[in-house]
Chain A
Amino acid sequence: MNAVTATHAGDHHDHDHKPKGIGRWLFATNHKDIGTMYLVFSCIMFFIGGAMALAIRAELFQPGMQFFDPGFYNQLVTNHALVMIFGAVMPAFVGLANWMIPLQIGAPDMALPRMNNYSFWILPFAFTLLLGSLFTPSGGPAGGWTMYPPLSLQSGNSFPMMIFAVHLMGASSIMGAINVIVTILNMRAPGMSLLKLPLFCWTWLITAYLLIAVMPVLAGAVTMLLTDHYFGTSFFNPAGGGDPVMFQHIFWFFGHPEVYILILPAFGIVSEIIPTFSRKPMFGYDAMVYATASIAFLSFIVWAHHMFTVGMPLAGQMFFMMSTMLIAVPTGVKVFNWTTTMWKGSLSFEPPMLFALAFLFLFTIGGFSGLMLAIVPADYQYQDTYFVVAHFHYVLVPGAVFAIMAAVYYWLPKWTGTMYDMTLAKWHFWVSTVSVNVLFFPQHFLGLAGMPRRIPDYNVQFTDWNVVSSVGGFVFGFSQLLFVWVIIKAVRGGPPATAKVWDGDMTGLEWSVPSPAPYHSFETPPDMH
Chain B
Amino acid sequence: MKQTSNRGLVWRLVLFTAGSFAFGFALVPLYSVLCQVWNTGNRWYGKQTAEASVIERPVSDRVVTIELVANIPQAGAWEFKSQAPTMKVHPGKLYSTSFYARNLTDGAVVAQAVPSIAPQTIARYFRKTECFCFTPQNFAAGEGRDMPVRFIVDPDLPPDIDRITLAYSFFSAPQVAAVSR
Contact = CB atoms under 8 A, between A and B. Distances in A.
Interface of A: 1-2, 5, 111-112, 150, 174, 178, 181-182, 185-187, 212-221, 224, 232, 234-235, 238-246, 249-250, 253, 311-316
Nearest to A245: B41
Given A241-B179, A243-B42, A235 B28 contact: yes
A504 to B, nearest CB: 33
Contacts of A2: 3
A241 B43 contact: yes
Nearest to B17: A212
B10 A112 contact: yes
A234 B181 CA distance: 13
Interface in B40-68: 40-43, 46-47
B3 to A, nearest CB: 5
Given A217-B23, A220-B25, A239-B173, A174 B17 contact: yes
22 contacts: A150-B73, A178-B10, A178-B14, A181-B9, A215-B20, A217-B20, A217-B21, A217-B27, A218-B24, A220-B23, A238-B42, A238-B114, A238-B171, A241-B42, A244-B42, A245-B42, A246-B31, A246-B41, A250-B24, A253-B24, A312-B38, A313-B40
A187 B1 CA distance: 12
A254 to B, nearest CB: 8
Interface residues of B toward A: which range? 35 or more
A496 to B, nearest CB: 35
B120 interface: yes
A220 B24 contact: yes
A106 to B, nearest CB: 14
A241 B47 contact: yes
A216 to B, nearest CB: 4
A314 B122 CA distance: 12
B24 A239 contact: no
Contacts of A316: 38
Tell me whether chain B's interface is mostly helix, strand or loop, or mixed.
Answer: helix
B27 A253 contact: yes
A234 B179 contact: yes
B61 to A, nearest CB: 28
A92 B2 CA distance: 29
B13 interface: yes
A332 to B, nearest CB: 29
Contacts of A221: 24
Contacts of B175: 232, 234, 239-240
Interface in B107-132: 112, 114, 119-121
Given A250-B24, A253-B27, A216 B43 contact: no
Interface of B: 2-3, 5-7, 9-10, 13-14, 16-18, 20-21, 23-25, 27-28, 31, 35, 38-43, 46-47, 73, 112, 114, 119-121, 169, 171, 173, 175-176, 179, 181
Nearest to A235: B28
A235 B21 CA distance: 16
Given A239-B114, A245-B42, A186 B9 contact: yes
Given A241-B43, A242-B42, A311-B120, A219 B24 contact: yes
Contacts of B5: 186
A252 B173 CA distance: 29
A239 B5 CA distance: 50
Closest 9 CB pairs of A and B: A220-B24, A239-B171, A216-B21, A216-B20, A243-B42, A217-B24, A239-B173, A232-B175, A238-B114
A1 B46 contact: no
B83 to A, nearest CB: 23
Nearest to A311: B120
Nearest to B13: A178
B162 to A, nearest CB: 19
A425 to B, nearest CB: 38
A271 to B, nearest CB: 25
A54 B16 CA distance: 40
Contacts of B20: 212-217
A244 B73 CA distance: 13
B38 A313 contact: yes
Contacts of A214: 20
Contacts of A240: 112, 173, 175-176, 179
A9 to B, nearest CB: 10
Contact of B3 (A5, A212, A253): A5
A239 B21 contact: no
Given A240-B176, A241-B176, A241-B179, A182 B9 contact: yes
Contacts of B120: 311
Contacts of B173: 239-240
A253 B28 CA distance: 12
